[in-house]
């Protein structure tokens, strides 16, 4: 198909637009230019898909005349443009789990939720995820229905295919092209990572850049094949063996091909320039533990953890029925009664009743403690804390105000941080205690944080991208990320430019902080390739 001159030139132009967009996405600003390129790419994709459909269903004489082929495609566009527009827009959304083409995820991160809906989305995130999954299935069904409509429009003689039987049009090309591409890309990156220790800095940089350019070019070819195969599947796999006129149609348009390759190389150079690992991460021990050295959020594990000198120890705090703040992540506690044991929410039990019961974790036992006790021990060890205030619907109406009144001044004096998933709590804490450092915990990286100012952000590692990090830095706020526990994940977070990492594996993070820059080259490649698969 790509030997058809009109299709070939159109596709190369689309790739040139896409790579230019990739290059611009590495830089802040130029929002209008980026928006114009995105619109141009989507509009061009509609024209290209229409051209491919025309080429699949036309005769030899038209195929061998570029001008006539373009004119025929333009005439047929009037019957297809609405369906093709829907297909392109839906495909951009449906492709998010398989890579974001370099612009769909950043665009998603520009969506600003109204403040009154932010807490609803974040605090009810499990329900939101289920709703998004159902919505995804609905959009996939609509996408396949539009493909079926195109099928009948292009070839009225074809038997209509209804229901989820059409899913094969999407899944077969996905398995034939995207899956092998993803496997090959990540196997090559794994090999680059394993070779990292054996290469000098110069050789490592050169090898990584070369591999990056090759993998980007390979990924573009495979994604192009995927899209053509999907269209081919939807129109009943027509035999396409045209007899080309070699004088009129060449196998490759070399100048635009060279231009696209040059843009890929420039993109690789830019990605390496901006992807250099950030300064060593601020180290934060998640829930006060290192591995399984104790029960999370317990003083026993804290005393073991502080021996390794983390910059911060992160703990979770919840309110009890009688208004005490205890250090605990789980919302419930197991209590004994006359009929055995049962789980009771912390918000439904008094603090002194909690003290009678022990918390178990991996064979270890301990008792919950009040935040004031934990802070006293931390102060004696000269250890700074990052306190997560967990807000639940069962809390008292004035939970944030009482927390600020009881602990605000002390947290400020000890130079401790506070963060929470409730943005309303962030605003209230800053209003009550302006000098308190308050961060916002974001578990879903699917919205803009630019309209949600905070002293810092604690972002979920899964799905994190450069756009989110740059948004935070543009308003002068550091980014902490939770919870990368593998060395590879920690290295990727460094490349993304985060300022601190909240981890269960503090010692590993400290080792990563001491690694030479060349050890992160593979992570730069990984970060870029993840945009394609």
Which pLDDT tens digit goes with each residue over 177-200? Answer: 999 999 999 999 999 998 877 877
Q: pLDDT: is 7 or 469 the higher one?
A: 469
What is the 8-class DSSP label of residue 176? I
CATH 3.20.20.190 segments of the chain: 282-331+368-513
| Interatomic CA distance for residues 64 and 321, integer angstroms | 80
pLDDT for res 106: 62
Output the pLDDT for position 250: 47
The segment with the largest mean pLDDT, out of 97-111, 342-356, 393-407, 429-443, is 429-443
Share of the chain above pLDDT 90, in %: 44
Name residue, tokens 């998933």: 421
Q: Which long-range contacts (CB under 8 A, 24 or more apart) does 194-199 make?
A: 196/518, 196/519, 196/521, 196/522, 197/519, 199/518
CA distance 500 to 369: 27
Look at residue 528 and tell me whether its pLDDT is greater than 80. Answer: yes
Give the tens place of pLDDT for each residue, 122-149: 888 888 889 989 999 999 999 999 988 8
**pLDDT average, residue stretch 78-102:** 81
DSSP element (H, E) containing 366: strand 364-366
Q: List 442's β-bridge partners, or say none.
A: 459
Mean pLDDT across the chain, nearest whole number? 86
Residue 316: its pLDDT value, please? Answer: 95
Tokens (6 digits) for 91: 């495909």
pLDDT digits (tens, 9 = 90+) for 259-286: 889 999 999 888 887 777 678 999 999 9
With 70 as the cut, is the pLDDT of residue 248 above it? no
* pTM for this model (two decimals): 0.85
Given a cut of 80, whether residue 246 has pLDDT beyond it is no
pLDDT single digits (tens) 17-44: 999 988 887 776 777 888 899 899 999 9
Q: pLDDT-derived band of residue 381, with 50, 70 and 90 as boundaries?
A: very high
pLDDT band at residue 100 under the 50/70/90 scheme: low
pLDDT at 516: 85
User: Is 2 within 8 Å of 11 (Cβ atoms)?
Assistant: yes
Average pLDDT over residues 62-74: 79
**Token code pair at residue 401:** 């105000």
Round to whole Å and give the CA distance between 319 and 332. Answer: 11
pLDDT tens digits, residue range 292-350? 888 999 999 999 999 999 999 999 999 988 889 999 887 556 666 656 566 777 777 88
Binning pLDDT at 50, 70 and 90, where does residue 114 land?
confident
Per-residue pLDDT, 7: 81
Pair 151, 236: CB distance under 8 Å: yes
Strand ranges (E), 33-147: none
- Label residue 380 exposed, middle or buried (CB < 10 Å: 0-12, 13-18, 19+): exposed
CA atoms within 13 A on the CB side of 95: 22
The architecture (CATH level 2) of 282-331+368-513 comes to Alpha-Beta Barrel (3.20)
In whole angstroms, how large is the CA radius of gyration of the chain? 28
**Which comes out higher in pLDDT, residue 108 or 248?**
108
Distance between CA atoms of residues 156 and 239, nearest Å: 17
Q: Is residue 90 scored above 80 in pLDDT?
A: yes
């Amino acid at each position: 198909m790509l030997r058809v001159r009109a299709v070939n030139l159109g596709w190369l132009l689309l790739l040139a637009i896409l790579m230019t967009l990739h290059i611009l996405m590495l830089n802040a600003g130029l929002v209008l230019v980026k928006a114009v390129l995105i619109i141009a790419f989507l509009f061009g994709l509609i024209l290209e898909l229409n051209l491919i459909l025309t080429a699949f269903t036309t005769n030899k004489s038209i195929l061998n005349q570029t001008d006539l082929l373009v004119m025929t495609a333009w005439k047929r566009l009037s019957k297809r443009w609405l369906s093709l527009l829907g297909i392109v827009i839906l495909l951009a959304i449906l492709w998010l789990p398989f890579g974001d083409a370099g612009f769909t995820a950043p665009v998603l991160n520009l969506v600003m939720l109204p403040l009154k809906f932010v807490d609803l989305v974040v605090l009810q995130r499990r329900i939101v995820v289920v709703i998004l999954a159902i919505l995804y299935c609905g959009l996939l069904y609509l996408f396949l229905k539009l493909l079926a409509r195109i099928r009948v429009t292009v070839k009225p003689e074809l038997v209509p295919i209804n229901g989820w039987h059409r899913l094969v049009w999407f899944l077969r090309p996905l398995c034939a092209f995207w899956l092998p591409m993803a496997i090959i890309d990540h196997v090559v990156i794994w090999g680059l990572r394993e070779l990292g220790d054996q290469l000098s800095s110069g050789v490592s940089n050169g090898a990584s850049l070369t591999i990056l350019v090759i993998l980007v070019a390979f990924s573009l070819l495979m994604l192009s094949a995927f899209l053509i195969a999907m269209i081919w599947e939807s129109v009943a796999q027509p035999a396409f063996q045209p007899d080309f006129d070699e004088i009129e149609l060449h196998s490759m348009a070399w100048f635009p091909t060279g231009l696209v390759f040059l843009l890929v190389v420039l993109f690789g150079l830019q990605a390496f320039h901006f992807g250099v690992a950030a300064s060593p991460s601020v180290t934060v021990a998640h829930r006060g533990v290192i591995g399984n050295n104790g029960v999370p959020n317990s003083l026993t594990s804290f005393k073991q953890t502080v021996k390794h000198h983390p910059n911060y120890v992160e703990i979770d705090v919840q309110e009890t029925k009688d208004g005490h703040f205890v250090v605990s992540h789980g919302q419930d506690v197991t209590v004994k009664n006359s009929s055995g044991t049962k789980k009771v929410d912390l918000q439904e039990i008094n603090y002194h009743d909690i003290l009678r019961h022990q918390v178990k974790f991996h064979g270890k036992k301990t008792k919950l403690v009040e935040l004031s006790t934990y802070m006293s021990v931390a102060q004696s060890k000269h250890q700074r804390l990052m306190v997560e205030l967990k807000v639940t619907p069962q809390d008292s109406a004035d939970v944030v105000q009482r927390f600020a009144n009881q602990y605000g001044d002390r947290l400020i004096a000890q130079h401790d941080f506070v963060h929470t998933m409730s943005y309303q709590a962030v605003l209230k804490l800053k209003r009550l205690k302006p000098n308190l450092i308050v961060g916002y915990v974001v578990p879903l990286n699917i919205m803009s944080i630019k309209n949600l100012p905070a002293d810092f952000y604690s972002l979920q590692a899964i799905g994190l991208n450069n756009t989110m990090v740059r948004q935070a830095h543009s308003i002068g706020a550091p980014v902490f990320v939770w919870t990368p526990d593998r060395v590879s994940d920690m290295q990727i977070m460094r490349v993304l430019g985060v300022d601190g990492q909240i981890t269960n594996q503090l010692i590993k993070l400290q080792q990563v902080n001491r690694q030479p820059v060349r050890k992160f080259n593979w992570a730069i490649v990984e970060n870029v390739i993840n945009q394609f698969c």
